[in-house]
Amino acid sequence: MFLLIEKGKNLVLGKLNTEQKMKYHIAILLILLLVSVKVNAQGAWYPLQSGETEHIISIQFIDAQTGYYISTSNACFKTIDGGAQWNLVETFAADISDMKFLNAATGYISACGGNVYRTTNSGISWNTYNAGLSSCLSSIFFLNSQTGWVTVETNSVINAVYKTLNGGVNWFLVGYVPGIERCYSIQFTDNLTGWTGGRKVNYDGLFFRTTNGGADWIETLNATEIVEDFIFLNSQTGWVISGGDVLRSTNGGINWIGQVHVPGRFSDCFFVNVNTGWAQGLTGSDGIIYKTTNSGLNWSSQTAAGSYNLLAMNFINAQTGWTAGLFGKMYKTTSGGNQFTGVLSHEEEIPCGFFLEQNYPNPFNPGTNIKFHLTDPSLVKLIIFDIQGREIATLVNEKLDAGIYTAGWNASEMPSGVYLYKIETSTFSEVKKMILLK
């Protein structure tokens, strides 16, 4: 290939003007780099624009493209392109708390005022069904299109469990969960076997198991921290998070064994199979995700420096997942998530001038870091464009104090080529080029 290029070079260059010759040499350089440079890809979490500024409290994907989330603005958003763009599908009158979709068309949302909202047409319209209550419905779970359960905040020492057998149209009281102020989650693996957990009035945690469809609930875990979430893959194997602890059960939740403890608080967990799972939350001021690939025997951390508390997560397989949390922050991984990008790290040193550094590494595949200097507090935008000037990603869009910052970009879903990154403040603007090689 290089021989053919060299033989034809003089004939070609003789017919080109100066600008065309420069473009020709750049093209040759890119070809050489593509052949000779190999950059090892690293898995990463990279930021998405959720379209929300309030807190995202639940997120669920049906497949690699279609997903939903709900937020504390009592809104439901939908994506059909894997999270690249989110569209508002509904804003509800009552405060909403939990969500469960069975497929791309059918989903349920629990709310205050005793309401359950149901869609059967992908969020285009929603029916409102009342459980005959005025209380808040906290957690919701549907086993199939007809059978579901909700937990009801009855008072500070007991929660009621209501059940439907006709898709949420009618609800009836099935049992009570004793000693608990709020149930944070509920799940069933069949018509009889289920679990729920949450907090007592003093914010200690409780966890319960039923084997008769929710009529009776037996306490199997009493913790000093709130039971924020849990997941069971079958009637025997499950995990629960409480404070900074992850615990595992292999006998249906009757007994629990602690697997990992962090100096923080987990808020959500998810397992795709008996080996691979994640637990996420907050430690110090940083969002954090822990991952296991051996059933929880060992866990590796994925700290998101400078990010916000992560509240909700969902995976469709061992590689592709999403996490979201405070102020609409959202991240995605297509490689199981090994590190965070697009998240700021901050050096306290005050620089002597505004400055945008060259990204490093460059060329890169698929992740690179961009450092910039701020002499004064500023509203900062850091945006990625393709070579045609189309906006690809917004890494930063917020007010920052003076200091030196580093933002990362993961381009695992972008093609090779030249990209531009631009910083804008009220007094400073600059653009630089970078090369993605795959």
Q: What are the pLDDT digits (tens) for 214-232?
A: 999 999 999 999 999 999 9
Residue 412 has pLDDT above 50, yes or no: yes
Instruction: Answer yes or no: are the C-beta atoms of 231 and 269 closer than 8 Å.
Output: yes
List 110's β-bridge partners, or say none. 98, 116
Sign of CA dihedral 103, 109, 110, 114: negative
Q: Please compute the mean of the pLDDT values over residues 118-131 and round it to a whole number.
A: 97
Q: What is the pLDDT of residue 30?
A: 44
Q: What is the SS3 assignment for 319?
A: coil
Band of residue 352 on the pLDDT scale cut at 50, 70, 90: confident
At 263-296, the pLDDT tens digits run 889 999 999 999 999 999 887 767 789 999 999 9
Q: Please compute the mean of the pLDDT values over residues 31-54 and round it to a whole number.
A: 59
Q: What is the pLDDT of residue 365?
A: 87
Residue 304 has pLDDT above 80, yes or no: no
The phi and psi torsions of 199 (rounded to 5 degrees) equal: -135, 150
Q: Nearest 5°: CA angle at 316, between 315 and 320?
A: 70
Band of residue 395 on the pLDDT scale cut at 50, 70, 90: confident
Instruction: Answer yes or no: are the C-beta atoms of 201 and 159 closer than 8 Å.
Output: no
Q: What is the pLDDT of residue 18?
A: 57
The span from the CA of 322 to the CA of 104, in Å, is 17
Query: Percent of the chain beyond pLDDT 70?
Result: 86
- The pair of three-digit structure tokens given for residue 434, joined into one six-digit string: 């970078």
At 84-111, the pLDDT tens digits run 899 999 999 999 999 999 999 999 999 9
Q: Please compute the mean of the pLDDT values over residues 325-348 and round it to a whole number.
A: 78
Task: Return the H-helix or E-strand segment holding 421.
Answer: strand 417-424
The strand order across the sheet containing 391-400 reads 391-400, 378-386, 417-424, 429-436
Residue 115 has pLDDT above 80, yes or no: yes
DSSP state of 136: P
Q: What is the pLDDT of residue 39?
A: 31
Q: What is the pLDDT of residue 7?
A: 29
Q: Which range, 2-11, 102-111, 260-269, 422-431, has the best average confidence (pLDDT)?
A: 102-111
Q: Which of 375, 372, 392 is nearest to 383 (CA)?
A: 392
- Identify the weakest region by mean pLDDT among 117-131, 304-318, 382-396: 304-318
